[in-house]
Structure 1
């Protein structure tokens, strides 16, 4: 039995058991339609979504979710994260459908750009967290820094534990919390953080260093 995917829209729009196995379409499957016809139908569905049509939204999800999931998965290389990215992109579609302009491209190109940008941002922030936490932190948690572990382990760990990291960051003193939030979840460099907060770079580096020490202690006890 499928569960509600987009809670804010009510359970009219339900989650299929797998993104690769969507529900039956009201129109012919997108893959069986000529590209021109497909683009026209997609644009019409987006226009209907802009008017609050949940059935059109559900059909658009069925038509797009498979290839969008594949796009996200190729970038983030994690099925759960890829599904979250597709979900978030469709929330944006529901909220911003009225901004779509067919004269600037197809509906699919619009949505796939949303997914691709979100996925790239996700990877960028994951790498930024890895750079800040560093090999010594991963070693403390049992992930050797000598290359014995597969290269993807650090990214996988940080992706899986992102919620735990966010919770731990929230317990830090305000000044340390702010710089780590900008680094971990905003993907900013130390120089960019200094510019954003209008603080000396040395001050930002010191806050990050102190915050990471406390974060290591907190997460070492949890993981």
Structure 2
């Protein structure tokens, strides 16, 4: 990832070769059509190439970060195809954990990614349902605050407050390792 951030095309190719099959499978589970999953994967790798320099290892494992980008691109395609966006925090958690289960070149990397995904899932589970929904729509479904407010039929200020409070609680939970 660091070499790709420095625009090393060879390193990016190696990253692609190591991760594309799992991420393609992840996109295919969301879109259910091979050609749409291929489009999502291509869009995701373009975004990864351009955003690699902004990747922060302290926030997420590389595979988790890339899986989130693939998910967002796949959901963009679903929205363009007029498929309704549905919040499924539990499904997302299990999809990320499943995507990470076979990821990584070694057992230490897989363990770290799995632990991070599980910690995030546990911390999300400690939030109130309304905070889970607002955060899920905003970050996992890549909706704007206005779109989240519209989806939940709530005032924009309420949605912004729920997201801010939920993120504060997630940050505290992850920092303290409070997840049950």
TM bin (shorter chain) = 0.3 to 0.5
Which structure has more relative contact order (CA 8 Å, sep 6+)? It is 2
The TM-score, its normalising length taken from structure 1, stands at: 0.37
TM-score of the aligned structures, taking structure 2 as reference length = 0.45
